[in-house]
Structure 1
Amino acid sequence: MTELGTSFDVAALRAGFPSLRSGTAHFDGPGGTQTPDAVGRAMYEVITGPLSNRGVGTASERNAEAAVRAGRAAMGDLLGVAADTVVFGRSMTELTMAMARTVARTWQRGDEVVVTRLDHDANIRPWVIAAEAVGAVVRWADFDPATGELGVDDIAAVVGGRTRLVAVTAASNLLGTRPDIAAIASLAHSVGALVYVDGVHSTAHVPTDVAALGADFYACSPYKFLGPHCGVLTGRADLLASLHPDKLLPSTDAVPERFELGTLPYELLAGTAAAVDVLAGLVPAGADADGDRRSRLLASYAALEAHEDRLRHRIETALADLPGVVVRSRAARRTPTLLLTFDGRDAREVAAGLAERGINAPAGSFYALEASRHLGLGDAGGLRVGLAPYTDDSDVDRLIDALRELTVR
């Protein structure tokens, strides 16, 4: 068990999730977490209240502006950045694709961009497409398929004097591997390159300090940490001010609005702020529950990490005794995310067997296509087991029992 003062009330948290009342055990959080009542209420109140993006001091306009300010402030607190550097978009993929086009305008033919085989395709393909459009060279950093580790040396092997940008994940959505982003950023900056960090999977599990990571850009998705379906991008203030994306002529050139096309989805921003507040409310007993939101988030994430790591250890211990189960997630630093394959069994068959028992743990490569292929799993991938704040011991018991039934013959 976690030590006194580092745990939060999981039962109380679970009570706020209507979807958990179905009895399904959700290990599909890496693809999108379940959504608490508080988020749904916040979205409902904004979308059904007086709302307008035009007007002169009307309640409708004030409500819209309040939702925008609240969304930016919440994500600023979560990521440790200034609220006026927070950009909202439809998805991390869309934001990254647009930013890749914008940044590539500063490249010349023969310049180089580094991508890694550990990454989700959303932090690979936009850079490959942008590089091809301007005649830049794509350099690939490989990870160790035996351990799942992506080290600084792997990046150093492909970084050079013409490297303009390094795109790297803070945590693999397939394996959970957490590379040393600060060290990678230091290396990239030593040759004058920018660093674009995919924080989609990481932000759900570990506290984030974008400046401490050394990231010039950082992107994530609120629906991976209890929020609604949208994307968030932040970056160094001076860097964002220097970039000029395609936009409509009458739309503002102010940052961050210049990167947001059209009217913002106010209800999604309200839901995002509510999700951050739910996370900040995981403050364990003995911690300062009256501090500012950033302080409460850091305390909450310490408790969250302890909770998820304990449950992950329970699962890993049980899996070691199951014949024919291969755990592909082996990095020293990783999120509570396990990729499993099965000797003589298709992972999709095991996923179907779990679903029949009311357990959601899907199989696939989950858009981490390069990683799956590098592991020798082709496009099929494996069974992904991901923990979330609401996962409890009874969920883990059910998963272990079901895997035992499905694999021990």
Structure 2
Amino acid sequence: MSHDIAGVRAQFPALAAGWAHFDGPGGSQTPQPVIEAVAQALAAPLANRGAVTLGERNAEDLVAGARQAMADLLGADPGGIVFGRSATQLTYDFARTLARTWSPGDEVVVTRLDHDANIRPWVQAARAVGAVVRWADFDPATGDLTPEHVAAQLSDRTRLVAVTAGSNLIGTRPDVPAIARLAHDRGALVHVDGVHATAHSPVDLAGLGADFHVCSPYKFLGPHLGVLAAAPDLLRTLHPDKLLPSTDAVPERFELGTLPYELLAGTRAAVDFLAGMDPQARGTRRERLLASMTALEEHESVLSRRIEAGLAALPEITVHGRAPRRTPTLLLTIEGRSTADAHRHLAGRAVAAPSGSFYALEASRHLGLGDTGGLRVGLAPYSCEEDVDRLLQGLGDFLRTAP
């Protein structure tokens, strides 16, 4: 297995601007095949879905192609792939729908490690029906969220556990399969926020134990929309609000209004791009994705270790989060200095590394960083050794400037 970094980078027009991008956790750059797929979808005849005109058939093909692509990426059933405006929107929609099955005194477990998009929708839905919210903390010293942290909050009244597959703030990857087993033993459903983790390693819905899994293609080289994966049989038990004339079929009953066909074309192209990053990979698209994402995971791990080794020579910098399993995402604070200033300093050297709490507000506060957070450094498929060296040089230069 190998990650063809030169071949990958050559496909990203944005890289010609000369920036080193460590802002991938907030949204990745876009490769040329994805750009072309979006344009081609808009250039061809296009209409509402149907089977008569060419425009209708094109729309049907775009939807079916995107569902199959996302199913291949996530190890899911294409009949359980739901598209929406964003992962946040989909989580809100499903929180409201699931809350109809809860009674006063039922319990929902959320974690302080999560992005607020996997916290607030559940908190608000629980409040609306009189359900109880229970909070699973994580270890602020290591950044780790263990199954034991979640188990302490479970009871026979637990109806849902919402947990991240990878922290967008500090990279922690909890043992989701173990957490899911604990939740299922209590009869609870498991909603996994895979928005951050999906961009960095292979995903298998059944292996995770996720009843619902959300992600965002724009985090893994695609367009801006959201995707939810679940078993079709589970989706058939849920009845969301919808327009009277709209279909009651699954998964369409959860998709409000006309889908963004051109973005679905881009999503399929992004998955195909991921599948092709390992030039040695063979087999089905799912098999090539598993090989390619495994190679990417190793490439990013090597770069992440290079960053951490460089940071170790800068004692003013603290890395937050040392969990055993992490994505290649680091949160830094700098003794006596503002990370917002570091962000601006690096930007002046064409290095993109943003500062903030990135909607992981509970995690930032639990780490003792308040609402400010820190400087986030995240890798992407196009990250290379030269980028890393530019980052480390920029941080060293910043530390040598006057406060």
TM-score bin, normalised by smaller chain: over 0.9
Tell me which residue corresponds to 1:268: 263
Correspondence for 2:346 among 334, 346, 354: 354
Contact 2:41/2:265 (CA < 8 Å) preserved in 1? yes
Correspondence for 2:111 among 108, 111, 116: 116
In the TM superposition, residue 20 of structure 1 has moved relative to its aligned partner by 0.5
Tell me which residue corresponds to 1:87: 82
Contact 1:284/1:303 (CA < 8 Å) preserved in 2? no
Tell me which residue corresponds to 1:58: 53
Correspondence for 2:330 among 335, 338, 358: 338
For residues 56 and 322 of structure 1, do their structure 2 counterparts lie closer, same or farther at Cα, with a shift above 3 Å needed? closer
In the TM superposition, residue 187 of structure 1 has moved relative to its aligned partner by 0.2
2:392 pairs with 1:400: yes
Tell me which residue corresponds to 2:27: 32
TM-score (norm 2): 0.98
How do residues 4-19 of structure 1 correspond to structure 2 at under 5 angstroms? 6-19=1-14
2:301 pairs with 1:306: no
For residues 305 and 284 of structure 1, do their structure 2 counterparts lie closer, same or farther at Cα, with a shift above 3 Å needed? farther
Tell me which residue corresponds to 1:214: 209
Query: Which ranges of structure 1 fall in alignment gaps of 5 or more residues?
Result: 1-5
Deviations 1:160-203 (A, max 9, x none): 11000000000000000000000000000011000000000000
Amino acid at match of 1:261: L
Tell me which residue corresponds to 2:285: 293
SS at match of 2:248: coil
Contact 2:98/2:238 (CA < 8 Å) preserved in 1? yes
Query: Which ranges of structure 2 fall in alignment gaps of 5 or more residues?
Result: none
Distance, in Å, in 1 between the alignment partners of 2:358 and 2:367 is: 14
In the TM superposition, residue 329 of structure 1 has moved relative to its aligned partner by 2.5
SS at match of 2:170: coil
Contact 2:141/2:321 (CA < 8 Å) preserved in 1? no
For residues 55 and 295 of structure 1, do their structure 2 counterparts lie closer, same or farther at Cα, with a shift above 3 Å needed? closer
SS at match of 2:162: strand
SS at match of 2:156: coil
Tell me which residue corresponds to 1:329: 321
Tell me which residue corresponds to 1:3: none
Tell me which residue corresponds to 1:316: 308
TM-score (norm 1): 0.97
Amino acid at match of 1:324: E
SS at match of 1:138: strand
In the TM superposition, residue 236 of structure 1 has moved relative to its aligned partner by 2.0
SS at match of 2:210: coil
2:15 pairs with 1:20: yes
Identity %: 66
Distance, in Å, in 2 between the alignment partners of 1:352 and 1:88 is: 36
Deviations 1:241-262 (A, max 9, x none): 1000000000000000000001
Deviations 1:307-346 (A, max 9, x none): 0000000000010010210000211100000000000001
Contact 2:4/2:278 (CA < 8 Å) preserved in 1? no
Distance, in Å, in 2 between the alignment partners of 1:109 and 1:408 is: 58
